[in-house]
Amino acid sequence: EDGKPVSYELMRERLRREVLTLNATFSTNPRTGRVELVVRGAGIGLDESRRALDWMALALHSPDLRPENLPRIRDLVDQSLATLRSRTQQAEESWVNDPANAYRLQRHPAYLAADSFLTRTHNVLRLRWLLKDAGADAEAVAAFLARLGESSSKLPRAELEALLSGGKAPGLEALAPAQRALASEALRDLQLSLAEIPDASLGTDIAYLTAAMREDLLTPPAEVLARLDGLRRRVLRSGGARMFVAGPQAMRESLAPRIEAFAARLDAAPWSAIWHGSEPLIDARLRSREPDAMPLYVGLHAPNKQGGVIMTSLPSAHYADFADKQAQLDFLAARLHGGSAPHSAFSRTVGAGLAYSNGMRGSVSSGRVGYYAERTPELPQTVRFAIGALKETRPDPWFGEYVMALTFSESRASGTYEARAEGIANDLADGQSPEQVRRFRASLLELRKDPGLAAKLFERKDRLYGTIIPGYDSKPNAGAGAVYFAIGPDKQLDAWDQYLRTTAAKGSRLYKLYGRDFWMP
């Protein structure tokens, strides 16, 4: 600030006194592929709001990326890595959608880098070693990693785990104390990465990791900081920027000059969106060990879980489909057993003790429908029960009102002003205008007038559920954009594979994914 460094401790104390909040996150939309860095500031009253804008400018334009601040930066990277590594230890509902969305967006590396914790874990690990400053010890530790890569790449898993955890790696004892400490850190990081690697690619992946860590260690940290700062400058372009404000009109008018000055500091250059339409990145990683893989059904290996998770997701009606009655009817039919009414998949399955959070899902804003169940005692058992419960439901005129209520419940009217302002701004950025939403909902209300609506929805039910739930129909027509994703340990995934081979379309099988499949080396 004003050319002088401000310590993290002082910054934290000043933020507590001067503003309500300051944070930076990523905002993404899987439907449109939008990936943005969002810096938010908030204050109570005009003075705090002005200071929040000043702090936002400091965060964007004056980060302390000097080599003198490397200890704080390394500490932040280590904290981030620890948080990412523990993500799967949290409640399932807080993380299981993440890898499924990443798999669906695997042609979009910017999305994976910003929103996939499996991709980010590997990226932060690489950054950790890029920021190491081994000084005169770098060459000795790099040589140790080179020997380790050669000696460990052909070992079976049990021997490799013993080598990495037992302090018996070749050449470790010959290193000086400081070198040995750094080499032990490398062994620990390799050991923690083993859970992400299958036996089929164990040697290749360990060889890659040791070579990458060696290369990263030999990269001067000052060069890495310069590259990070160059990335920061490339992001700060007005061509891709937008702002949203929530506050009283008088306050917005008072803040307008400062907002204009804030925007004027951005580089007046165009922004080209990053979108790669090449081969799907995760499937390509899968094919490195299974060259003939043509995956439709995939399962993420999670060895520390007991139960299983299933998530299916298919394209459906969006607000832009305000003139497409068939798409609207299909969306409503897919929601017949949504919600938490007594007939719903959620209530029936929870009542039978076969899942925790579960049910038929759908969202007009995301343009997707699907089925979800977590903490299942056994995936095939839960899905068979759900299919039986869905098939036995009989038509009733009441269902027309029920699905309308579910669809119209997708609203942010009860949210805070700040959340609603940001949500509206995101909608506009994604091309979802208020007029579009109004026309879609008006079209639904026209459908509601049809006394035969419920019967029409039930006529579509089996065809739609046949594509949403594996095994509901032996000949489903999944179509483009469908994702059938499971998560669990070997026991759950093997049972799910057997279920698919016997109940889904001929030739169906499950392909197992691992954390390493989400890496972008």
pLDDT greater than 80 at residue 204? yes
The DSSP element (H or E) to which 257 belongs, if any, is: helix 249-264
How sure is the predictor about 44, in pLDDT bands with cuts at 50, 70 and 90?
very high
pLDDT on residue 507: 82
pLDDT exceeds cutoff 90 at 295: yes
**384: number of CA atoms within 13 Å, CB side?**
11
- d(C-alpha 387, C-alpha 395), whole Å: 16
95 vs 114, 197, 459, CA distance in Å?
15, 20, 35
pLDDT exceeds 90 at position 279 = no
pLDDT given at position 277: 65
Reduced to 3 states (helix: H, G, I; strand: E, B; else coil), residue 63 is coil
pLDDT tier, 276 (very low <50, low <70, confident <90, very high otherwise): low
Grade residue 446 by pLDDT with cuts at 50, 70 and 90.
very high
* pLDDT for the residue numbered 358: 95
Query: Under DSSP, is residue 55 helix (H, G, I), strand (E, B) or coil?
Result: helix
The pLDDT of residue 278 is above 80 = no
DSSP string covering 299-313: EEE-TT-SSEEEEEE
How confident is the model at residue 192, as a pLDDT? Answer: 96
Average pLDDT over every residue of 29-49? 94
Question: Does the pLDDT at position 475 exceed 80?
Answer: no
Q: Is 339 left (phi over 0), alpha (psi -120 to 50) or beta?
A: left
Q: Lowest mean pLDDT of 161-165, 275-279, 311-315, 354-358, name the range.
A: 275-279
pLDDT at residue 233 above 80?
yes
For residues 468-488, give the mean pLDDT. Answer: 87
Quick one: what percent of the chain has pLDDT higher than 90?
91
Mean pLDDT of the chain: 94
pLDDT band at 482 (very low <50, low <70, confident <90, very high): very high
Q: How confident is the model at residue 117 (pLDDT cuts 50, 70, 90)?
A: very high
Query: Does 396 score more than 80 pLDDT?
Result: yes
Say whether pLDDT at 478 is over 80.
no
- Model pLDDT for residues 450-468, shown as the tens digit of each residue: 999 999 999 999 999 999 9
The answer to whether 500 and 470 have CB atoms below 8 angstroms apart is: yes
How does pLDDT run across 237-273, given as a tens digit for each residue? 999 899 999 999 999 999 999 999 999 999 998 887 6
The C-alpha atoms of residue 384 and residue 503 are separated, in whole angstroms, by 10
Statement: residue 305 has pLDDT above 80? yes
Q: What are phi and psi of 473, to 5 degrees?
A: -135, 130
CA–CA dist 21, 200 (Å, integer): 47
Task: Please write the tens of the pLDDT for every residue from 102-116.
Answer: 999 999 999 999 999
CB contact at 8 A, 447 and 437: no
Alpha helices of 28-137 — where are they, by DSSP H? 46-61, 70-85, 97-104, 109-115, 117-130
Q: How far apart are CA 251 and CA 247, in angstroms?
A: 6
Distances from the Cα of 17 to the Cαs of 7, 20, 43, 95, 283, in angstroms?
A: 15, 8, 11, 34, 49
pLDDT of residue 275: 60
274 has a pLDDT exceeding 70: no
Check: CB of residue 379 under 8 Å from CB of residue 485. Answer: no
Using only C-alpha atoms, the chain has a radius of gyration, in whole angstroms, of: 26
Q: How far is CA 371 from the centre of its chain?
A: 18
| DSSP per-residue codes, 338-353 | BTTSTTSHHHHHHHTT
Query: pTM for the complete prediction?
Result: 0.94
What is the per-residue pLDDT for 216? 97
Geometric angle at alpha carbon 116, from 113 and 122, rounded to 5°: 65
